[in-house]
Amino acid sequence: MHVLFVPSWYQSIDNPIGGVFFRDQALALQKAGYQVGVLVAPKIRSKRQLVEVRRFSDIAVRFSIEDDLGLPTYRTCQWGWFPGFLPNGNLRLLVRAGLGSFVQYVNANGFPDVVHAHGILYGGYLGVQIHERWHIPTVLTGHASALMNGTLRPDQREVVQHTLHNTDKILAVGPALARSLNKYCPECIIEVLGNMVDTEFFIPGKDDVPLEPFIFSAVANLLPVKGFDILVKAFALAFRDEPVRLRIGGSGGERDSLERLAHELGIANQTEFLGSLTREEVRVLLQSSHALVSSSHIETFGVTLIEAMAVGKPVVATRSGGPEEIVNAMNGLLAPAGDTEALAAAMQQMVRNYKKYDPIQIRTDCAARYGERAIVEKLGEIYHSLVSTKVISKKGQSVDAT
């Protein structure tokens, strides 16, 4: 079976861990015998970004094809010139560029049996455009927290509604996100299927971590939605001047204010801001920590939670939408989102009861729910069910975008 992934965002040289779980899933399907390709939803650059241009050639439409461990990966970057004068102008450019990439992909690799889009804005929307023109079964997996926090623009809401109403199979990475999607399409059937973790990459460290100092790690972009101010305050409340450390990986606009907050609360010598981390550095951080903590206000899933569990580490997380489906009594603790005292109490409980958590059991349970075999089997069932009810008449033919 031939599956084409259409992710809304994807890893790149500038962002090597962006959407890496999409790539993991694609490689896992390839390993299981599927033919898989990747068509990244086109990136539309605005006129304001002209200041970034250093060469005249950078103004041209960019199109590239990469061979990523056997995954043909198609990317397009185009300028959006007239968003203020043409209604949905950039969206039309996105569709045009995306369909052009699809034609190039098909002529080189053949028609896919299934298009699996990740993220509605705008991979899912592009997947629907492909479906409407060539009648290829389409799967959509929803990811974005913007669908849960009410920050969509009116034009984006229209895109979400159109995409949900015209997709064959809708998945959400967490139950809270599924409920949010149903608000845009009450009659839609939305199933929950979490992200996949690469348990061959995220493995336990070779040496046990000494019990003191106890180390909490946290990994996320330093943005308000991630609740790092709550985390720093909770850590200070629970552990100031105690043999406990907090190591934070990630970059973002809140770093300076968070560092100042740590100084003001007297925990600067216990808190370390590591900046952007490679995937390998994230693995080392998890291996050298005792537990991971996630303090998000809104979280559609929680990839770092399952990465920590794959390494055999317990977690402390907030009830922010996704973690409720992941965290249980065997692998960690939950606290209300935005509650400093409750998060501090949960972290203290983790330190006190740390020895009760079994690393092998945590990893085994994680692999059973989110490992390669589990996710590939579920996706395979979905793909085969869709293909068995559709007849694709144009397979093997050359196509154009008209």
Average model confidence (pLDDT) for the chain? 90
Place of tokens 């010139």: 81
Q: Look up residue 247 and give its two tokens.
A: 């190591």
pLDDT digits (tens, 9 = 90+) for 19-48: 899 999 999 999 999 999 999 998 765 555
Max CA pair span of the chain: 69
Distance CA 7, CA 19 (A): 8
Q: What is the dihedral of CA 19, 24, 29, 34, to 10 degrees?
A: 70
Mean of pLDDT values over 240-266: 97
In a domain, 205, yes or no: no
Q: Look up residue 250 and give its two tokens.
A: 């990630």
In a domain, 209, yes or no: no
**Same-domain status, 337 and 382:** no
The pLDDT score that the predictor gives to residue 79 is 59
The pLDDT score that the predictor gives to residue 146 is 86
**Same-domain status, 165 and 235:** no
The pLDDT score that the predictor gives to residue 399 is 53
CB neighbourhood size of 349 (10 A):
14
In the chain, count of helices (H) and strands (E)? 14, 15
In a domain, 237, yes or no: yes
Task: With a cut of 70, say whether residue 393 has pLDDT above it.
Answer: no
Residue 372 burial (C-beta neighbours within 10 Å; 0-12, 13-18, 19+): buried
pLDDT digits (tens, 9 = 90+) for 316-325: 999 999 999 9
Please report which confidence band the pLDDT of residue 77 belongs to, taking 50, 70 and 90 as the band edges. Answer: confident
Residue 30 burial (C-beta neighbours within 10 Å; 0-12, 13-18, 19+): middle
In the chain, % of residues over pLDDT 70 = 89
* Domain count for the chain: 2
pLDDT digits (tens, 9 = 90+) for 139-170: 999 998 888 887 888 989 999 999 999 999 99
pLDDT digits (tens, 9 = 90+) for 254-308: 999 999 999 999 999 999 999 999 999 999 999 999 999 999 999 999 999 999 9
pLDDT digits (tens, 9 = 90+) for 169-223: 999 999 999 999 999 999 999 999 999 999 999 999 998 899 899 999 999 999 9
Place of tokens 């992934």: 5
pLDDT digits (tens, 9 = 90+) for 282-292: 999 999 999 99
97/14: higher pLDDT: 97
**Same-domain status, 179 and 139:** yes
The pLDDT score that the predictor gives to residue 369 is 98
In a domain, 15, yes or no: yes
Task: With a cut of 70, say whether residue 81 has pLDDT above it.
Answer: no
Mean of pLDDT values over 126-140: 97
The pLDDT score that the predictor gives to residue 17 is 80
Please report which confidence band the pLDDT of residue 82 belongs to, taking 50, 70 and 90 as the band edges. Answer: very low
Domain hosting residue 260, numbered range: 214-365
**Same-domain status, 152 and 296:** no
Distance CA 21, CA 200 (A): 13
**Same-domain status, 376 and 354:** no
**Same-domain status, 330 and 378:** no
The pLDDT score that the predictor gives to residue 88 is 61
Task: With a cut of 60, say whether residue 84 has pLDDT above it.
Answer: no
The pLDDT score that the predictor gives to residue 19 is 85
Please report which confidence band the pLDDT of residue 89 belongs to, taking 50, 70 and 90 as the band edges. Answer: low
**Same-domain status, 376 and 361:** no
Distance of CA 268 to the CA centre of its chain: 30
Q: Which residue in 142, 188, 131, 163 sits closest to 4, CA to CA?
A: 131
**Same-domain status, 22 and 166:** yes
The pLDDT score that the predictor gives to residue 10 is 93
**Same-domain status, 256 and 186:** no
- CATH number for the domain harbouring residue 26: 3.40.50.2000
Q: Look up residue 60 and give its two tokens.
A: 């041209």
pLDDT digits (tens, 9 = 90+) for 351-385: 999 999 999 999 999 999 999 999 999 999 999 99
In a domain, 256, yes or no: yes
In a domain, 167, yes or no: yes
Per-residue DSSP letter, 213: S
**Residue 289 backbone dihedrals phi, psi, to 5 degrees:** -105, 165
In a domain, 201, yes or no: no
The pLDDT score that the predictor gives to residue 397 is 46
In a domain, 206, yes or no: no
**Same-domain status, 157 and 218:** no
Distance CA 206, CA 188 (A): 47
**Same-domain status, 359 and 383:** no
**Same-domain status, 182 and 92:** yes
Task: With a cut of 80, say whether residue 71 has pLDDT above it.
Answer: yes
Q: How far is CA 78 from CA 45, 54, 207, in A?
A: 6, 16, 48
Q: What residues pair up with 299 in beta bridges, in sequence order?
A: 321
